[in-house]
Structure formats: structure tokens, C-alpha cells
A and B are shown apart, each in its own frame.
Chain A
Amino acid sequence: GAVVSQHPSWVICKSGTSVKIECRSLDFQATTMFWYRQFPKQSLMLMATSNEGSKATYEQGVEKDKFLINHASLTLSTLTVTSAHPEDSSFYICSAPHEGGNYGYTFGSGTRLTVV
């Protein structure tokens, strides 16, 4: 089945540094990738939608300059948290629709980011 590989699984970084999270579609072409943030015991909150070869669409309230999304190829989308601060600590998940979304969405395994 469709697989999205997400790395790293967890990362600890110092405040002020940047962290890049990668999501690769291994056996299908992901023209669209959704990036979510999930707080403990809460549902997924959509941050942005990336489309291959075009600028990402950010949800209201999400800082574009802090959360840089790049979708340069049909198999790779990246999220870079720039100048990270402790409040950016969270669980980040990527997801891509396959078969047009009608058959479901494939999720990466998530990245737990801790900013110290």
C-alpha cells in the first residue's frame, strides 16, 4: 500500500535553531501533502497544504515565515521550523491523499519536536 516515510521521528533542538522535517512518499506520487500539528490528547490541526511545484497554502493563524514548507518533487515535502522556540514543541504529522483521497489518506509516523 501507499507509504509515507517521515523523518526524524523525534528531535530535540535548542531555542533559536531551525529544524527540518521530511516526508517522502515511497510508492506513489504525492502531488499534495498536508502538514498537521497535534497537541497532547487533541485532534489534528491542519497547518498548511503543500502542492508540488507551487507555494504552500497556510491555515489562518499559522506563521508562514516560521513554518517553511517546500514541495519540490512529487515524492518529497519538507517542513522547516525556523528559529524554534519552546512553544513550537509539538507532534507534527504529514499526510498525503492517495487515489484522489477517496480511498483514504496515508500518514507519516510523525515527528515529536522538543525545543529546549
Chain B
Amino acid sequence: AQTVTQSQPEMSVQEAETVTLSCTYDTSESDYYLFWYKQPPSRQMILVIRQEAYKQQNATENRFSVNFQKAAKSFSLKISDSQLGDAAMYFCAYYSLDSNYQLIWGAGTKLIIKP
């Protein structure tokens, strides 16, 4: 069965610094998608970034980038120039074409931004 593991329950970073959130997953599929979602205190889930497994190039969205290591089944999120508005829970999620559209979720990492 597919699983997603986020080993960091909480991380903190100084404003304007860079932080990396880790995520590993387990799957026997070769074609799948990975996502990072942000859940701020409002609890609205917001898509941060997505990665297709067949693409070797790491996805980037402004200050957010991923380090996708397919062989190691690792999908970390790097946030550069951290801002106060980045404070939130961050969830890593996996989706396979064979999973009937179901997302498999990690436990989440709470990111604290220190001013």
C-alpha cells in the first residue's frame, strides 16, 4: 500500500531564511503525482506545488521548489526567503493513476516563522 511519511512534526525558521520540509513515500507504481499543500490557520487547503513522477526536472513555484528523488522516494519542499505568511501546516500528498483519484496524505509539518 502507498504511504506518505513526514518525519518533522514541527519546523521553525527565521524570517527571510530558507527551510526544507521532508517527505518520503512508498509505492510500487511508476507513474504518479506528488503534491505539497499548505493549510494556514484559516484551514483552507492551498496547493503549493505539484510534481509528475515521469518528469526529472524539479518543480518550482516562485519561492517554493522541490527536490524530487524518485529512486529514493523522497519529495522535499524548500521555501526560500521565508515570510510570515508562510506559517502553516504543510502536507505532502501522493496520487497514483490507479488510486481512483484518492490522495494519500502525510501527517503534516507545522511551520513556524520567527520574525
Contacts and interface: CB of A to CB of B under 8 A. Distances in A.
Do the two chains bind? yes
Interface residues of A, number: 22
Interface residues of B, number: 20
A104 B50 CA distance: 7
Contacts of B16: none
Interface in B70-108: 91, 95, 100-103, 105-108
Contacts of B95: 101-102
Contact of A46 (B50, B52, B102, B108): B102
Contacts, number: 46
Interface of A: 32, 34, 38, 41-44, 46, 49, 91, 93, 95, 97, 100-105, 107, 109-110
19 contacts: A32-B101, A34-B101, A34-B102, A34-B103, A43-B91, A43-B106, A43-B107, A43-B108, A44-B91, A44-B105, A46-B102, A49-B100, A49-B101, A49-B102, A97-B101, A101-B95, A103-B50, A104-B50, A109-B43
